[in-house]
Amino acid sequence: MSRKNPRPEEEAQAIDLTPMLDVVFIMLIFFIVTATFIKETGKEVSRPDANTAEDKPNASILIAIGPDNEIWMDKKEIDPRNVRQAIERMRADNPKGSVSIQADKESDLKFVVDVANAARKAGVTDISVSTEKN
């Protein structure tokens, strides 16, 4: 006897996993698309206090200046001479993005101004300095 046609019992025992996999992949895509990605500079700084602080939630380029005046972007220390090129590379991902400088209380103001000038030369017009609210 030929076994070309499977018996109905064998068909009933087979479980089709395709719909379940479709649902899992759709859920995965949903969570990836709706997840909020937190950008970090790679350096923890103690920001100065300010009475006139305003929220800037959409800063796309974060730059940290530590107490020893080291400059950090995207979890890497950047040479002060290469800040403009680093900003231009990060700005390629988001041309309308703004720059937020997170300077430590103990850092020199000269480095904050140098980073702001490098951002202006890179074509960024929205530059802010991050502070703590009083």
Domain boundaries, the chain: 49-133
Given a contact cutoff of 8 angstroms between Cβ atoms, the answer to whether 101 and 63 are in contact is yes
- Annotation: CATH topology of 49-133: Nucleotidyltransferase; domain 5 (3.30.420)
Tens of pLDDT along 53-93?
566 666 678 888 888 888 888 888 889 899 899 888 888 87
Query: What integer is the mean pLDDT of 11-40?
Result: 79
Confidence of residue 25 (pLDDT cuts 50, 70, 90): very high
Q: What is the pLDDT, as a whole number, of residue 118?
A: 92
Identify the pLDDT of residue 132: 72
CA-based nearest residue to 115, from 93, 75, 76, 85: 85
Which residues, at least 6 apart from 42, have a Cβ–Cβ distance to it below 8 Å?
Answer: 64, 72, 73, 74, 75, 76, 77
